[in-house]
Structure 1
Amino acid sequence: MSNLVKRSKIISNIRLFFLQKNIIEVETPILSSSSVTDVNLVSFKTYYSSCDQVQKLKLWLITSPEYHMKRLLSAKLGSIYQISHCFRNEEFGRYHNPEFTMLEWYQPFCSMKNFIKEIDKFLQIILNCNKSDKMSYQDVFIKFLNIDPLSTTLSELHQISKKLKLHYLTHIENDLNKLIQLLFTLEIEPKLGKKKPIFIYHFPVEQASLAAINSQDSRISERFEFFFKGIELGNGFYELIDVDEQKKRFIEDNKKRIAMNIPCQKIDSLFLDALSSGLPNCSGVAIGLDRLIMLMLNETRISKVISFSLNRC
């Protein structure tokens, strides 16, 4: 029970951080009329039945509050944050629970570089840690695996997989980008941020998600993640604001879904309408609050810092 008391105090300190910066706390729906097209995310589905039981409306539990919050940004609300329950119908384990708490934060008219500095200040205050390290995705691959992820070949990745005794990867993966992601997750991520947090930035354009493409190098995106003690804590972007490019990415996601034999998802037209109306240049980040608190309390499972995990709910 003491961890829950400590959790409450940590969340109060987080709210105080944003209050002192005049950043508005918002609340957006947990139910959404649209899911997400990202092939790596699986949403929970439910139905709303009208009183007469004649009409059923398909709804989804949000995987993050991102789309709703960007609609608020398009309405010129300014800098905003939210502490939200999110839901993903995926793995359950040390660092995952199907229902979890996310801290989502958006800063208009802020570059990725400057936003990373702001998040670093947040971490220093909340985690009471030293200033973070920063390294590009390209450089971290060269440091740990001696390969350049922006110019590598499938053959080279298969060779390094064998060298690392990850022979099974050479049999199941012939997708260059997927193999790069797996090597990052398995071989690099556990080594990151052992003594203090580290930001990894400029992910390959194939992993851009909802991030803008770098204006100087079209091979990389304005996406970053940060890690502490070998655990991913946050994922952020200098946000894509081009509605046509965003729609194109949604369509490409659904094409991948078809190829993977998983259901396509309806494109969120309300979100695209918000982009059309004018999403300001901005940066945003999603932080896994349960993981952050877990590390602060020196625990090794998020189940130790939430009231009731999946096996006890």
Structure 2
Amino acid sequence: MDWQPSASLEALRQRAALLQRTRYFFARRGVLEVETPLLCSAGVSDPAIENLAVERGTSLARPRYLQSSPEYAMKRLLAAGSGPIYQLARAFRDGEAGARHNPEFSLLEWYRPGFDLGQLMAEVAELVLEFVGERPVEYIAYRDLFLRELDLDPLLAPPAALEARARAALDVGDLAGNRDLWLDLLMSHLVEPALAGRGLCFVYDYPASQAALARLETRGEVSVARRFELYVDGVELANGYHELTDAAEQRRRFAADNARRAQHGQPLREADDYLLAALASADGLPDCCGVALGFDRLLMLASGINDIRQTLAFDWSRC
């Protein structure tokens, strides 16, 4: 058994320095650092993410889930009047391991009451540039990015046209699915690689079907999700939302996620009733924007490391 660390001592020193500078970044802005539980009664409903579950224990009357993000608990703090908050959290996702993924990883997540999406993107850029040095910064709508790179309108093109474009460029075999499957495939295999070497690229206004926990807004003849993703030289680094505050809509989205899970044969996830109660409370979740940023990936970009395992004291294979 290889008991040695997967990261060099220099990489561990860089991690410690990055943590210190991150805390200073938020302290200067009056954003409160918080800690929330890692083991909770509800898992995430998103079909694209699987939680790790703890099934048994002397204090467990029912399964608990290692959190894939501290989002639900942090929103409860916001509803309780915390004001702007951030967290450097451990997070867990099943089935993700490799050069850019580890089942246990570090997330930097923060929420800004009163911010719009543009203000949050600007703050994210300020943080990232502080660590990776000067790079170009671009802001582009999801629709405009597809039109630029593929000459294809992702919001209006029929699923058959998206599938045809994917099959023309990629070997997808007998793969079948809905428009979001083809959009994800085109994004990951054709659009994202085009962002390599372009510095920071904020892609915003995603298709409404990919809203997750973001608000929807109308853009002409279509609705879009008020969310963004940040790519740095082609590496996906952060995911941000103008946060949904409506409890009834949140409950509907939990149900829709479970319907998709049932279609794919995935285990269903109970709605987080604590979050729903917070959203439905007298004051509820304040109007805010929030973002989750992969801290290990930020260290990769800041240090020139090209394998996430080399940023971790012990990667998944050594635990």
* TM-score relative to the length of structure 2: 0.93
**TM alignment of 1:166-245, pairs within 5 A:** 166-168=170-172, 171-192=174-195, 194-216=197-219, 218-245=222-249
Structure 2 counterpart of 1:132, which letter? V
Structure 1, 1-10 or 40-49: larger mean CA deviation: 40-49
Cα drift, residue 177 of structure 1: 1.5
Cα drift, residue 57 of structure 1: 3.0
Alpha-carbon distance in 1 for matches of 2:260, 2:177: 15
From 25, 41, 46, the counterpart of 1:17 = 25
Q: Secondary structure at the match of 2:289?
A: strand
> Are the counterparts in 2 of residues 82 and 104 from structure 1 also a CA contact under 8 Å?
yes
Q: Secondary structure at the match of 2:72?
A: helix
Cα drift, residue 309 of structure 1: 0.3
**TM alignment of 1:59-138, pairs within 5 A:** 59-138=64-143
* Cα deviation 1:229-254 (Å, max 9, x = unaligned): 21100001000001111100000111
Alpha-carbon distance in 2 for matches of 1:241, 1:190: 34
Structure 2 counterpart of 1:145, which letter? L
Q: Secondary structure at the match of 1:198?
A: strand
Q: Which residue of 1 aligns with 2:264?
A: 260
Q: Secondary structure at the match of 1:264?
A: coil
RMSD: 1.4
Cα drift, residue 130 of structure 1: 3.1
Q: Which residue of 2 aligns with 1:311?
A: 317
Alpha-carbon distance in 2 for matches of 1:163, 1:97: 32
* Cα deviation 1:81-122 (Å, max 9, x = unaligned): 000000001121000000000000100011111211121122
Structure 1, 39-48 or 60-69: larger mean CA deviation: 39-48
Q: Which residue of 2 aligns with 1:288?
A: 294
Structure 1 unaligned spans of 5+: none
> Are the counterparts in 1 of residues 198 and 234 from structure 2 also a CA contact under 8 Å?
no
Cα drift, residue 38 of structure 1: 0.6
Q: Secondary structure at the match of 1:251?
A: helix
Q: Which residue of 2 aligns with 1:297?
A: 303
Structure 1 counterpart of 2:199, which letter? K
Q: Secondary structure at the match of 2:50?
A: coil
Q: Assess, with a 3 A threshold, how the Cα gap between structure 1 residues 215 and 241 changes in structure 2: closer, same or farther.
A: farther
Alpha-carbon distance in 1 for matches of 2:11, 2:296: 12
Alpha-carbon distance in 1 for matches of 2:97, 2:126: 31
Please say if 1:274 is aligned against 2:282: no
Alpha-carbon distance in 1 for matches of 2:196, 2:229: 12
Q: Which residue of 2 aligns with 1:49?
A: 57
* TM-score relative to the length of structure 1: 0.95
Bigger relative contact order, structure 1 or 2 (CA pairs below 8 A, ≥6 apart): 2
Cα drift, residue 174 of structure 1: 3.2
Structure 2 counterpart of 1:122, which letter? L
Q: Assess, with a 3 A threshold, how the Cα gap between structure 1 residues 250 and 139 changes in structure 2: closer, same or farther.
A: same
Structure 1 counterpart of 2:88, which letter? I
Alpha-carbon distance in 1 for matches of 2:197, 2:57: 50
Structure 2 unaligned spans of 5+: 1-8
> Are the counterparts in 2 of residues 86 and 100 from structure 1 also a CA contact under 8 Å?
yes
Cα drift, residue 56 of structure 1: 3.1
Structure 2 counterpart of 1:57, which letter? R
Structure 1 counterpart of 2:28, which letter? Q
Alpha-carbon distance in 2 for matches of 1:102, 1:268: 21
From 8, 27, 30, the counterpart of 2:16 = 8
Q: Secondary structure at the match of 1:57?
A: coil
Alpha-carbon distance in 1 for matches of 2:47, 2:163: 24
Alpha-carbon distance in 2 for matches of 1:99, 1:229: 24
Q: Assess, with a 3 A threshold, how the Cα gap between structure 1 residues 222 and 193 changes in structure 2: closer, same or farther.
A: farther
Q: Secondary structure at the match of 2:54?
A: strand
> Are the counterparts in 2 of residues 47 and 56 from structure 1 also a CA contact under 8 Å?
no
